[in-house]
Chains A and B, each alone.
Chain A
């Protein structure tokens, strides 16, 4: 187990390096820099000397590799630099925004799994029945549904017309758990129905249909094992392996989707932060958000692999 973890840790650092370098390069193509974005392109409010002083202060006068190296050096000391727009530490901003996105994405993931598991099992066990066709049809629709459209429709129906949920505003789990559930329900439902439930459900259904054709299932039935136990113990357990991978993919999908969902529901999370920061050319913030998201995605992948190893002893032994 230990060598496996070590190898993965090295791979993680590699991915983080490549992603941040790619982003540094990309940002260098952006026309204008944070100084012109904040003080106006014409530079009317600043004279050349002040502009040069500001560039120097933020290290923008250095060549790109030097900027990158100093960013990495500061990162190792736990410092992500200061936001040029908000004039405070990027780590402080992230501390406010990351929990918001995690609350919504976590809730969405929970909803997806809770919806996908029973529906997927029913569709697979009653393969080719009306139930199966209904569930599969809904799943196909879920994949095709643009999340922002679904979000707007849910908002119109449940917040504007029925007034069951607040239209805007966001409550943290730590301030008021009940209100937090209420304010994150629609965004989470949007995330779940607009893709991830369907992803998980389709994989589980396909996997389970495949497993239920295996000889050991026939053996279990012939032994007189109860149908319920055959499905849950012998079937679902084996169909869970590929499903775990898809749950990992779904988590990454939700983190990316937060950009759109937070825009629709006006939620102050990482998704909104990165869009605002990109528009303001606020490189330190963009880099910080990208770093955090990449770390989460990489950790989710690691968790997926570990779950895999836990579920399948053949992988553990290798």
Chain B
């Protein structure tokens, strides 16, 4: 990109502009304790997912009937479930399904949505009309029920869960991208590129895409929290990744049977979902403010 070419020239304007933008980022992320805590929570969850085998005190699948349905104690800080499995270890291992589903689904949905949005926005005409009507139909239907139908049709596996969440999240990126393209398409720099004979493909990827990516990044961060909630809901309904693999939603589904006798069982997996989703939402909001030069 042109930015790299200019970087070597040390134009004084550019240096100050960059310094300012870096300051703005630092102010947004490190000036607010809540943003910092959110960042720590998200990074922490990522580390837990990667290091679950090392961090978790026990085997999340090991059953011990003698220790079933125990409250929190020193040996089981989060207590044990109906099969005597250690809830803390299961919550830690639960990060894997949550993050695997959310990260893959958001990446796929963004990729698919951005492609559809670019094509619809740039090509326009009948193709645009057709693509947008399909998108409208997906949106017209409650996401959770559509996702449920997908998982029923293709089996309750991680792959179908990812596929289901991808389909229901894709419209957001497609609409966002299309709107961005439409607003940038007629700007002078795109017209200039077209006038000098640059190919449409190159215009799309080198001239338009870098200019409209910021809102997509924000949407993807917020989309992660949505995907985590969706995965947990499917697991709660028994339509997610199947037992014995620990999932937060699945653990809550088990816990629902014991609310009369072992209410604490609902606390930890639910809190894990809540904290991660809240952190991602807050980060998304912060990112949005940081990327918007008008906010101060």
A→B interface (CB under 8 Å) = 14-15, 18-19, 22-23, 26-27, 29-31, 140-141, 143-149, 152-153, 155-156, 160-161, 167, 252-253, 255-257, 259-260, 263-264, 274-275, 278-279, 286, 290, 293-294, 297-298, 301
Say yes or no: A152 contacts B255, CB within 8 Å.
Answer: yes
Beyond contacts A19-B141, A147-B233, A286-B149: 18 other A-B pairs, Cβ-Cβ < 8 A, are A26-B149, A140-B282, A143-B281, A144-B225, A146-B232, A146-B233, A146-B249, A146-B270, A148-B233, A148-B252, A149-B269, A149-B273, A152-B270, A156-B263, A160-B260, A259-B144, A259-B148, A298-B140
Closest to B263 in A: A156
Say yes or no: B229 contacts A146, CB within 8 Å.
Answer: yes
Say yes or no: B263 contacts A294, CB within 8 Å.
Answer: no
Separation of A264 and B155 alpha carbons in the complex (Å): 23
- A-B contacts, 27 listed (Cβ < 8 Å): A14-B133, A15-B137, A15-B140, A18-B137, A23-B149, A29-B154, A140-B281, A140-B282, A144-B278, A146-B229, A146-B274, A148-B232, A148-B252, A149-B252, A149-B270, A156-B266, A257-B144, A260-B144, A260-B236, A260-B237, A264-B256, A279-B152, A286-B149, A290-B141, A293-B142, A294-B140, A301-B140
Closest to A281 in B: B152
Known: A256-B145, A290-B145, A293-B145. A160 touches B259 (CB 8 A): yes
Separation of A37 and B233 alpha carbons in the complex (Å): 25
Interface SS, A side: helix
- Tell yes or no: B105 within 8 A of A by CB: no
B→A interface (CB under 8 Å) = 133-134, 136-137, 140-145, 148-150, 152-155, 225, 229, 232-233, 236-237, 249, 252, 255-256, 259-260, 263, 266, 269-270, 273-274, 277-278, 281-282, 285
A-B contact count (CB 8 A): 119
Say yes or no: A255 contacts B273, CB within 8 Å.
Answer: no
Q: Pick from A149, A252, A259, A274: contact of B274, CB below 8 A.
A: A149
Separation of A146 and B256 alpha carbons in the complex (Å): 14
Closest to A26 in B: B153
